[in-house]
Amino acid sequence: MSESALRQYVPLTCHGHSRPVPHLSFSPLEKDDIYYMISACKDGNPMLRDGQTGDWIGTFLGHKGAVWQARLSPDASTAATASADFTAKVWDTHTGELLYVLQHHHIVRAIAYPFDNPGMIATGGFEKKLRIFDLQEKKPVPTPTASNPNLVEPVTIETSQAFEIGEGVHKEAIKFILWAIDPNVIITASGDTLRWFDLPSRRCVREAKLEGEIKSCEFASLAPSYSSSTDIGGGLPVLAVAAGKTAYFWGGKRAEDELKRITLSHGIASVALDVKGRKIVVGEEPGTWARVYDWDNAKELDVHKGHHGPIWSIAFSPDGNLYATGSEDGTIKMWKNCDGFYGLWRGGAPASATE
């Protein structure tokens, strides 16, 4: 394949945020191959977008501080956000209404749903406590008005009502939480350490100390209709972690089997894995570029220029046809990862990503 053929199409740029974007993520695939993207922002206003085009759908208004992380539920019916205002919030993605306020005693940095259960939420942050909230115990009460027929009375859940997992284990703030495909396993990133927790016993069952502070920790997975046993990870989600100059990858149902580690010549602020295309995309640190490397030989395939600040978050769409980068510069860029027509890319000759 020629060098020009490897280069991606000119990215789409999503504007709207006024401060840095520390995190973004995609929903699972819905019917008709529809999916969504949600972005967290230090402006306190997480945004929901069409996943294919980046078109703005709505903004969730109500946080009083920076939003550090945002995720969509397995059925995309709700969104969960973690904020510096000492709360996590859960929102109705169809109406934008606030459904739940999860109270904390310090900044909330991390939030996660299980793969198959929109009624549970795990949170963590500067309290150094991993908590699980059951959203099914109490439901928001509809309180429609003439001006807003969708209005509900949100439910407030105190920390005392949540389950704490691994009490006293974390020594630093929890920056990332991920639920393994095995619903009894939850993974946290804190400082330079990954930890695996067994939920029935509420105990930490494994620790892995990495090269440096963990900057990025996300699952890479495709929708079942797109995944294959020949993909990296054998069709199961792959845990991709950036720490220091190394990208680490774990597979298996519990995400405990180390598949590979790739050490680069520069620091890594974020990493994402293309399980079918066998390549990784990293945000360099220090720097503002996204670099694409071959999974098998770590050869650099491409360099994406365009952001004006570090890239803190990278995620592939559930069909693998694009990936998005979220930056300190307050923008999100979407990069095409397939041939032919897709989304707002109308085909034609590939253009240099530096344009």
Domain definitions of the chain by residue range: 1-17+214-355, 44-209
* Residues 354, 306: Cα–Cα separation, whole Å: 7
Amino acid in the structure at residue 205: V
Look at residue 348 in the predicted model and tell me its pLDDT: 43
Q: Is the pLDDT of residue 13 over 50?
A: yes
Instruction: Give the pLDDT confidence of 77-122 residue by residue, as tens digits.
Output: 999 999 999 999 999 999 999 999 999 999 999 999 999 999 999 9
Cα separations (Å) of 183 from 135, 152, 187, 221, 255? 16, 30, 11, 16, 11
Look at residue 353 in the predicted model and tell me its pLDDT: 37
- Nearest partner of 294 among 282, 312, 286, 284, judged by Cα: 282
* Residues 44, 53: Cα–Cα separation, whole Å: 23
Instruction: Give the pLDDT confidence of 147-178 residue by residue, as tens digits.
Output: 888 889 999 999 999 999 999 999 999 999 99
Bridge pairing between strands 155-157 and 98-103? parallel
* Residues 274, 316: Cα–Cα separation, whole Å: 7
Give the phi and the psi of residue 137 in degrees, each rounded to 5: -70, -30
Look at residue 347 in the predicted model and tell me its pLDDT: 54
Superfamily covering domain 44-209 = YVTN repeat-like/Quinoprotein amine dehydrogenase (2.130.10.10)
Which distant-in-sequence residues (6+ apart) come within 8 Å of 86 by Cβ?
65, 103, 104, 105, 106, 107, 108
9: pLDDT confidence band, cut at 50, 70 and 90?
A: low
Share the mean pLDDT of the chain.
94
Q: Name which of 29-33, 60-64, 180-184, 264-268 the model is least confident about.
A: 29-33
* Residues 179, 219: Cα–Cα separation, whole Å: 9
- The answer to whether the CB of 107 falls within 8 A of the CB of 124 is no
Look at residue 349 in the predicted model and tell me its pLDDT: 39
* Residues 102, 253: Cα–Cα separation, whole Å: 29
Q: What is the mean pLDDT of residues 19-39?
A: 96
Instruction: Give the pLDDT confidence of 256-295 residue by residue, as tens digits.
Output: 999 999 999 999 999 999 999 999 999 999 999 999 999 9
Residue 354, token pair as written in the block: 């530096």
Look at residue 149 in the predicted model and tell me its pLDDT: 87
Q: Which residues pair with 132 in a beta bridge?
A: 122, 163
